[in-house]
């Protein structure tokens, strides 16, 4: 009856309810992200008041422009750029991708797109209303961030004289909206949320790296303009106002992507329910492996739930693993070797206070370069995309798809179901860490960097444990609430907050630094010092406690039925 009621409700107000429901359902996640980002900005500005700004004023103008800080760096401009232009852009871009991928592909995955289109709603209107909902949420986010950006300096008695906060926030939000419209377009053409998320996130990370790395290579500065991330801070909007050329490029690109989504959703057959070929199905189709696959699967599908879960995330994980192996591993070796003659001078230009926000490291050694570029921010983001996605959807995803009841109708305990689901996160997290180890090790071998392979292994083990920890948080929240959005939002948000706490502790040698798991992940400098037993034990125990709490939380609550 609940499904009939939903259809009748859509029939009565098909257009307004679709847009409004999207704004409301996604608004909670955006609100959590914006509140968290606001708190980070206030905390960052508070800590930066104790930083010696003369270190930044001695940096070359070219280096200052790369990190988006003007020639006269002050506490306010440093906080705006370090928090909003880095963590803020990553948070806003990630949220936009989740909203954009869910507008069409997410509804196909959930099997609700057929019910929607049975009402007087055209395919094009579905795409346009998804884009409009995304735009509405981000206009609201921009207003909140603007208020925080203007009021926080007043509360902390920090001068913002000469800074154009309005232009800065406007260009930041417009730049991150691009990635949401990209996810919308990819999802409209493929109908697959994992592909939409994977492609859009890959473009975001590559843009983030390219726009920051290419300007440091002589003769390659202008190539940074091909990356969307470049236009988030193009023209230094904080000091010079909004850049009209960047505004035109971002607006045109976003409009083009919406048009592409509109065309894409019309040009293909839609799926009423996600149907994909699983690894096990492919093995069954081949004569040489069919017998083994049938035996491996068992007589009942529920006895091998972990195989189903592994198959569901194969595309996303293999895409992330390929990215970490090639771009962030193998290709980083030749890049460092090419830049090495100028690395010593360049490394002296970056104060540790700034590099701490990017995960630490330096530019004077291969180990420091890989820590900064691969293991600092990108590695944790990559592995958490996989582990948090799997953890959040392990139970909550089944509830959202109305399939959890079918699973538990079989002779299967809740605890056994949790354990089966957990296997998929363990396997795919290991694959990402292994790909990272292989890529970095080959980069060192091919480019003759002389890195210690055991130390590379130590860094990758720490990366794996960090991914398990926050994937475990998402796993626990999904089991406890049955809400995918809450599980992803809180686990990813807590990761960002704890990374900033770790960075702030490194800047001011605060005692709170060791309270963050990111300290035990990279604060002990594993690429140079190798394994730290204390750090491994802390990360393992923390993960065990979080995952272990999932069992009583799941066993004691009523499941969502509608």
The 10s digit of each residue's pLDDT in 535-559 is 999 999 999 999 999 999 888 877 6
Q: What is the DSSP letter of 13?
A: S
**pLDDT for the residue 10:** 42
Range(s) of the domain holding residue 347? 305-562
**pLDDT for the residue 7:** 40
Of 245, 268, 291, the one marking the end of a domain is: 268
Residues 367, 433: one domain?
yes
Residues 395, 523: one domain?
yes
* Residue ranges with strand state E in 221-373: none
Q: Give the orientation angle of helix 89-101 with respect to helix 14-48, to 10 degrees.
A: 160
Q: In this structure, is residue 372 part of a structural domain? A: yes
Cα–Cα distance measured from residue 374 to residue 132, given in angstroms and rounded to the nearest whole number: 35
C-alpha pair distances (Å), 84 with each of 30, 45, 181, 505, 511: 15, 11, 21, 19, 25
State how many domains the chain has. 2
Residues 312, 263: one domain?
no
- In the predicted model, residues of the chain with pLDDT beneath 50 are 1-15, 274-277, 296-303, 562
C-alpha pair distances (Å), 336 with each of 95, 332, 333, 354, 440: 32, 6, 5, 20, 12
Cα–Cα distance measured from residue 37 to residue 358, given in angstroms and rounded to the nearest whole number: 16
C-alpha pair distances (Å), 382 with each of 195, 317, 458: 15, 9, 18
Residues 407, 547: one domain?
yes
Q: Is the pTM of this model over 0.75?
A: no
- Residue 380: CA atoms inside 13 Å, Cβ hemisphere, count? 27
**pLDDT for the residue 560:** 62
Cα–Cα distance measured from residue 402 to residue 302, given in angstroms and rounded to the nearest whole number: 16
Cα–Cα distance measured from residue 25 to residue 99, given in angstroms and rounded to the nearest whole number: 10
Q: In this structure, is residue 255 part of a structural domain? A: yes
Q: In this structure, is residue 297 part of a structural domain? A: no
Q: CA 512: distance to chain centroid?
A: 25
Residues 228, 327: one domain?
no
In this structure, what token pair is assigned to residue 36?
Answer: 């968290």
Cα–Cα distance measured from residue 479 to residue 550, given in angstroms and rounded to the nearest whole number: 6
Q: In this structure, is residue 124 part of a structural domain? A: yes
- 162: how many CB neighbours lie within 10 A of its CB? 12
Question: Is the Cβ–Cβ distance between 525 and 451 less than 8 Å?
Answer: no
Residues 415, 509: one domain?
yes
Question: Is the Cβ–Cβ distance between 381 and 205 less than 8 Å?
Answer: yes
In this structure, what token pair is assigned to residue 467?
Answer: 């991914």
**pLDDT for the residue 546:** 95
Q: In this structure, is residue 279 part of a structural domain? A: no
């Amino acid at each position: 009856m609940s499904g009939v009621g939903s259809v009748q409700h859509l029939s009565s107000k098909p257009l307004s309810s679709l847009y409004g429901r999207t704004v409301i359902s996604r608004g909670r996640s955006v609100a959590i992200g914006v509140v968290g980002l606001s708190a980070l900005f206030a905390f960052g500005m508070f800590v930066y008041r104790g930083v010696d700004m003369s270190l930044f004023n001695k940096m070359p103008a070219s280096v200052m422009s790369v990190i988006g800080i003007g020639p006269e760096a002050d506490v306010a401009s440093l906080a705006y750029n370090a928090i909003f232009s880095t963590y803020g852009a990553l948070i806003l871009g990630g949220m936009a991708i989740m909203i954009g991928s869910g507008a069409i592909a997410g509804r196909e995955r959930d099997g609700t797109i057929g019910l929607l289109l049975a009402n007087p709603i055209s395919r094009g209107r579905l795409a346009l209303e998804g884009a409009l909902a995304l735009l509405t949420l981000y206009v609201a986010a921009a207003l909140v961030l603007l208020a925080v950006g203007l009021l926080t300096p007043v509360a902390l008695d920090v001068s913002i004289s000469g800074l154009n906060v309005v232009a800065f926030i406007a260009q930041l939000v417009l730049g991150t909206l691009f990635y949401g419209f990209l996810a919308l377009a990819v999802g409209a053409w493929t109908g697959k949320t994992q592909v939409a998320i994977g492609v859009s996130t890959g473009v975001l990370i590559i843009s983030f790296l390219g726009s920051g790395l290419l300007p440091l290579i002589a003769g390659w500065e202008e190539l940074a303009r091909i990356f969307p991330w470049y236009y988030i801070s193009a023209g230094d909007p904080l000091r010079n106002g909004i850049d009209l050329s960047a505004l035109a490029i971002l607006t045109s690109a976003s409009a083009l992507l919406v048009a592409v989504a509109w065309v894409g959703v019309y040009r293909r057959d839609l799926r009423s329910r996600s149907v994909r070929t699983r690894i096990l199905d492919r093995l069954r189709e081949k004569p040489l492996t069919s017998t083994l696959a049938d035996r491996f699967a068992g007589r009942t599908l529920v006895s091998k739930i972990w195989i189903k879960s592994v198959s569901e995330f194969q595309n996303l994980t293999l895409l992330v693993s390929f990215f970490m192996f090639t771009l962030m591993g193998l290709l980083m070796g030749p890049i460092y070797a090419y830049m090495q003659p100028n690395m010593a001078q360049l490394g002296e230009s970056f104060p540790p206070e700034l590099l701490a926000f990017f995960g630490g490291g330096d530019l004077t050694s291969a180990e420091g370069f890989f820590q900064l570029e691969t293991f600092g921010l990108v590695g944790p983001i990559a592995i958490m995309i996989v582990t948090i996605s799997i953890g959040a959807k392990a139970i909550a995803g089944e509830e959202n798809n109305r399939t959890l009841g079918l699973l538990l109708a079989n002779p299967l305990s809740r605890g056994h179901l949790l354990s089966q689901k957990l296997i998929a996160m363990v396997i795919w997290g290991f694959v990402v860490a292994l790909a990272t180890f292989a890529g970095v090790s080959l980069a060192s071998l091919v480019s003759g960097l002389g890195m210690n392979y055991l130390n590379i292994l130590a860094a990758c083990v720490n990366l794996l444990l960090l991914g398990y920890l926050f994937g475990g948080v998402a796993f626990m929240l999904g089991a406890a609430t049955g809400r995918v959005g809450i599980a992803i939002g809180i686990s990813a948000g807590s990761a960002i907050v704890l990374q900033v706490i770790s960075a702030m502790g490194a800047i001011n040698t605060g005692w709170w630094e060791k309270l963050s798991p990111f300290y035990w992940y990279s604060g002990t400098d594993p690429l140079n010092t190798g394994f730290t037993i204390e750090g491994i034990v802390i990360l393992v125990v923390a993960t065990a406690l979080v995952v272990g709490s999932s069992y009583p939380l799941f066993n004691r609550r009523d499941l969502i039925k509608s």
